[in-house]
Every structure is written in C-alpha cells, then in structure tokens.
Amino acid sequence: MKKQIVLSTALLSIGLSTVSIAGDRDKYAVKLSDFNSKKADYSPTYYKGELLYVSNNRLTSFIHRYNKADGEKMYDIVYNGEDETVLALLDKINSKYNEGPLTVINDGKTVFFTRNNYMEKKKVAGQNGKVNLQIFYVELQEDGKWSDPVSLPFNSADYNVGHPSFTADESTMYFSSDMPGSTGGADIYKVSYSNGKWGQPKNLGIAVNSSSTELFPHVSTKGELYYSSNREGGAGGLDIYKSEFKRGAYLKGENLGAPINSKNDDFGIISTINAEGDDIGYFSSNREGGKGSDDIYEWESLIKPLAVIGKLFKETDGLPIANAIINITDSDGKTEQVMTDAGGNYSYPLKRGEDYAFDVESPEVFKRVGTFSGNVEDSQTEVKGDIGVEDWPYLYGEVKDEVGNPLEGVTYVIKKDGKAVYTSQTKPDGVVKYILPSDAKEGDILNYTIEYKKEDYLATNKPVSQRLTNAGKNPIQNGSSVTLVENKVGVDIATIVKIEPIYYEYNKADITPTAAVELDKIVAFLKDNPTVFIELASHTDSRGSARYNLKLSDRRAKSAAKYVQSKIDNPKRIYGKGYGESKLKNTCTDRADCTEEQHAENRRTEFTIVK
C-alpha cells in the first residue's frame, strides 16, 4: 500500500534587503517540480534513483528560524514510492520532532540525517533551554531491519549540527554548525570518516564561510561544494553559492545568480550528471510562483559538458597509435589516464576554466608532453586534442665494406659505461639499430660505445656521444656508421683507428703523456683483434744525417712498441722498427727546397699489419 512519510529541518527566517546580482539565465534552466505540496517541501536527496525530501509548512529553529503557527506537525522525511526498505527507514528515523536534510552512503545501507536532539523518546535541551539540531545515522542490518539512530561523536546539546553531505568517495562529510569557533551564525565544516571512525571537525575558513550564516552544504561528484548563505551581496535571503576545489582547498564561493537564486530563500541544492553528461539536480526555494511555502525546483545546466577530443598519431607517416596511455593532470596535480582506441582516438572531460598538462606513454613513440585548456567560451563543447608524436629515438647506422657494400653478419655490441646493453647482427642491408631504453627523455646525454666484429674483418669500436633533442624525428646517427676493413697483411691501422701524430722531445725517445694517449688506441685495437700482429714503424724527414735519423727513429719505434707491449698479453704481437729517412712520402730529399709542412709529412709513425 502506498505510504507517504515526511521529513524536515528548520530553516532560518531571514529578512534582508534585496540587491541586484548578475543573472545566469543563459546558464541554467529551472522549473517547479510536479510533486510539490501546498505545504513546505525542500532539501531533497537521492536514494537509489528516487528522492527523499523534507516536508511540512511548520518552521522550527535552526539558527533562529521559528514556527509560524503553534501546534502544526513537525517536519518529517517524505518518500512517494513503495519500496519497503525505504518505508521501513522512514518509520525508524521520523519522530514527533523535526527531522531534516539527510544523505546516503554505503550503497544505501547507511543514512545520516538531521533531527532535533531527541533520543530514546527523550528530548535533550542545551544550557540555553533550546533543543538543538544534531546529526544521527542508521544502518541497514543483515536481517533487513534498520538499526536504532546513533548520535555522532561531535554532536552537542549546546549547539546545532546538521545538513550532512558526503564526498563521492565517502571519506569526508560536510555539515553546517554553530559550534564554538564559527565565524558567523553557522559555518560549513568538514570531518574525515573511515571505517566508522571520525576525525576532528574542521572549519572551512573564510573562503567559504562569512560573518553571516552558511547552511545546506552539498558536494557534487566533481568535488564542487554548493551551499547557501545570507551574506551581503546576495539577491536576498539565502542564496546558493558554489566553490571550486583547487590545490587542496575550496576557493571563494561564486553566487549562482538567477534563475537559481531569487530575492527569497534559495537552498538545499543537490546535483548529479545525466546520461548526456549534463549537470542536473534539484534545489529549494520559497520564491513567488510556487505551490507551498517552500518548494522543490529542478535545474539543468545549459552549458554543455566540455571535453578534449583528438587522435594520437605518428608525425612521420600519420598512422594512428592504438592502446597508448595519455596521462592528463589538472591544476591540482591530480592525474588520470585515458587509453586510445584502435583508431588512436581518445576523449577526456575537462572542467571549464581549468588548465591541464598531458604526456603520452607508448612503447612505439617518444614521450610527448603538452597542455590542454578549458578556458573557452561557454558555447564551446570540444577542445581539439590531436597529438602528433615521434618515433621512439634509436641509434641507427650502417656497416659497409671498403667498396661501400652493406655487410651482413656483423656482430655489434652496444655498451654503456663499459657494460653491454644490447647485442645483435646486421642483416643483408647492413643496418645497425638500437632502440633507446624506456627511461630516455629529451635533454639526456647519450654516451655509448658500439663494438663491431665479423670474421676475416678487423674489429673496431665507435663512440656515440650526443644530447637527445628533437627525439625521434631522425634516428641518432652520430658515430653509428662504420666501414669494416678486411683483415690482411699490409693494412695500415690508421685507416681504421684515428691516431694523431706522435711527438717526442728533441733528440729523445721517451713516451710523452700525449703520445701515450695515441698508443693506448693501438692497445685497444690489439685487444679487439687478438690474432693481429703489427709493425710499428717510425720515420723521419731528410734533414740531418741519414745515420742519425735511422738511429733516432729506431729508438723511438722500439720505445713506442715497448709501451704497447707492456699493456698486452703477448708482447710479440707488436715490434718497433726505425726507417729514418729511407721511406720518404714526397720528394723532400737532402738539400731539397721544401716547406715545413712537406717535411712534417715525412715525420710519421705507421702501424701496419704483418700477420
């Protein structure tokens, strides 16, 4: 059988002068709900897709709003449906005194509600003799029955606590109270809640509260805080305000203006999001044109949802990138992820007026960062978000023989800090490719050594050192390509290893520090090519006697060879021999008129494979 039960809280009766306030008639649509009675109906809340609300025309005191007529029925919670669980709930919480705004958590199994301080059939007055409002809760038990009401630990007979509203994650409850520490007639507070345990209530401060009265808080699923206040600057009576949550705190409340607010009392707002993504909800008002003293109105945002919509693609060929992660971070530092579909498409809802940063994660492409902005016209519903990304950066090179043909089967080893990080072999195209690790980022300094080996060819090493910029647009080729020389007698090692001229002090054969640097390159070459034997030949120019030049060059050759021998396992793999001026490279013989540069061409050290 259909049963109607009613709920209530007292609302402060406030007389204020009306002021002009900017309207938002192009932002909201408002209409009177059909279910209003000729009495007072206000402060609805959602319960499993239906509405519970407060009703009666009797006004009692929450922060000094008094009954208009003695003897009228107190406020109760109203439900116009037939759900037996809800009907049992109302039977449990409605009393002969006032019940008021409520909120529901735990999938409808826990209900918090406002009531005059009435427990166990006894009313409890404070020191001033008033029966103040308190917040109670009931829970649906396993046997399907509702528990008896339980008072919250921060209630007190000496002040009002009411109008509960929870955050979407049910971790924080917001409420209104005139407890000690309030700045006005009543302030908005918050308190943490976890597994039945409560924190200490905290006043939201001057960004939300004023020296006037703040009532009826509601936290939307987006984290916006709605509340009513009779502060100066409003349209009259209680006005509804909205505060955005940014950087860990609520900002100064914004008056919603007309048609939400009127010259009368506007309060008890709730919100949700419909299937189209539009903000919709209900609020209460005693404005002219209603059915009763207080009525419930429906509201809808005329500003449609804003979203960034785009495609992730490769800049090189325009192909879409599927299953990539885009991390989107708002101005509070909160990050959420969206994934691209098979066509590289994605979308993400934006808050108007909010700026966002993004970065792209995909094994196919180099990490890309950028920004979106929700600072657009109200009529705009889409922010274009196409993102072109670059291939993940990689080392690229080619291995060729002395004729210029690609070499297949060359083993190449990528080393970092002396340790091998990648090993592979070239295919018929002779290509060398190494994709950089996933932690590579623009600005990194790349320091690698690439070791190349192939049977019957001389092994060699090539350093790669480069700052990672414009990553992915072009492969990193600095030092990655090489020509391998066939291992055969007569090959001059200088064609493989870049060796600077080796200088000695005048008339001496001692190895100088700069000479040691160049000879260490020969040491490394011999270690890379363990079957190679080398003759280290020292040559002079024609100036001076031939006998002197021969002896000096021989001493220098043997000194250099001895240095190398001391650093390899088999000293017999290199020997030194001086040729003096017997193998000039040009026509600068004795008494020839030559420049210093021409003479310098003859002063050289050669490293030749002899075995």
- Give tens-digit pLDDT for 348-361: 999 888 899 998 88
Would you call 468 exposed, middle or buried from its count of C-beta atoms within 10 A (0-12, 13-18, 19+)? middle
What integer pLDDT is reported at residue 474 of this predicted model?
54
The answer to whether 5-13+23-301 and 493-609 have equal CATH topology is no
N-to-C CA span, the chain: 109
For 18-35, what is the mean pLDDT? 72
For 560, the token pair is: 């250099």
Q: Check pLDDT > 50 for residue 20.
A: no
For the segment 183-210, what is each residue's pLDDT rounded down to a tens digit? 989 999 999 999 989 999 999 999 999 9
What integer pLDDT is reported at residue 418 of this predicted model?
87
What integer pLDDT is reported at residue 25 of this predicted model?
64
CATH topology of domain 493-609: 60s Ribosomal Protein L30; Chain: A; (3.30.1330)
- CA 491 to chain centroid, in Å, comes to 58
Q: Check pLDDT > 80 for residue 470.
A: no
For 242-246, what is the mean pLDDT? 90
What integer pLDDT is reported at residue 475 of this predicted model?
64
What integer pLDDT is reported at residue 9 of this predicted model?
39
What integer pLDDT is reported at residue 128 of this predicted model?
85
Q: Which residues pair with 355 in a beta bridge?
A: 373
| 63 Cβ contact partners less than 8 Å away, ≥ 6 residues apart | 12, 160, 178, 185, 186, 213, 215
Q: Check pLDDT > 60 for residue 2.
A: no
For the segment 176-187, what is each residue's pLDDT rounded down to a tens digit? 999 999 998 999
Name the residue ranges covered by the structural domains of the chain. 5-13+23-301, 306-389, 394-483, 493-609
What integer pLDDT is reported at residue 16 of this predicted model?
35
What integer pLDDT is reported at residue 23 of this predicted model?
53
What integer pLDDT is reported at residue 136 of this predicted model?
96
What integer pLDDT is reported at residue 203 of this predicted model?
96
**Range among 155-159, 393-397, 605-609 rated most confident:** 155-159
Q: Check pLDDT > 90 for residue 477.
A: no
CATH number, span 394-483: 2.60.40.10
What integer pLDDT is reported at residue 478 of this predicted model?
62
What integer pLDDT is reported at residue 315 of this predicted model?
82
What integer pLDDT is reported at residue 471 of this predicted model?
52
What are the two backbone dihedrals, phi and then psi, of residue 515, each rounded to the nearest 5 degrees?
-65, -35
What integer pLDDT is reported at residue 118 of this predicted model?
83
Which segments within 286-430 are labelled E, that is strand? 295-301, 306-314, 325-329, 335-339, 345-350, 355-361, 369-373, 382-384, 387-389, 394-400, 411-416, 419-425
For the segment 404-463, what is each residue's pLDDT rounded down to a tens digit? 999 999 999 999 988 999 999 999 999 998 888 877 777 788 888 899 999 999 888 888
For 386-414, what is the mean pLDDT? 88
What CATH class does 5-13+23-301 carry? mainly beta
Q: Helix 513-528 crosses helix 546-565 at what angle (to 10 degrees)?
A: 60
Residue with tokens 């207080």: 294
* Least reliable range by pLDDT among 11-20, 443-452, 588-597: 11-20
Q: How confident is the model at residue 174 (pLDDT cuts 50, 70, 90)?
A: very high
CATH number, span 306-389: 2.60.40.1120
Q: Is the peptide bond before 259 cis (omega within 30 degrees of 0)?
A: yes
Q: Check pLDDT > 60 for residue 373.
A: yes
Q: How confident is the model at residue 394 (pLDDT cuts 50, 70, 90)?
A: confident
Cβ contact 307:347 at 8 Å: yes
What are the two backbone dihedrals, phi and then psi, of residue 414, each rounded to the nearest 5 degrees?
-90, 125
For 79-98, what is the mean pLDDT? 90
For 70-90, what is the mean pLDDT? 82
Cβ contact 219:165 at 8 Å: yes
Q: How confident is the model at residue 337 (pLDDT cuts 50, 70, 90)?
A: very high
Q: Check pLDDT > 80 for residue 532.
A: yes
Closest CA to 289 of 309, 263, 314: 263
What integer pLDDT is reported at residue 187 of this predicted model?
97
What integer pLDDT is reported at residue 409 of this predicted model?
93
Q: Which residues pair with 307 in a beta bridge?
A: 349, 382
Q: With DSSP H G I counted as helix, E B as strand and the rest as coil, what are the percentages for the chain, rounded to 5?
A: 10, 40, 50
What integer pLDDT is reported at residue 98 of this predicted model?
87
What integer pLDDT is reported at residue 247 of this predicted model?
79
For 490-503, what is the mean pLDDT? 85
What integer pLDDT is reported at residue 73 of this predicted model?
61
Average pLDDT score over the chain:
87
Q: How confident is the model at residue 276 (pLDDT cuts 50, 70, 90)?
A: confident
Q: What is the pTM of this model?
A: 0.61
What integer pLDDT is reported at residue 66 of this predicted model?
39
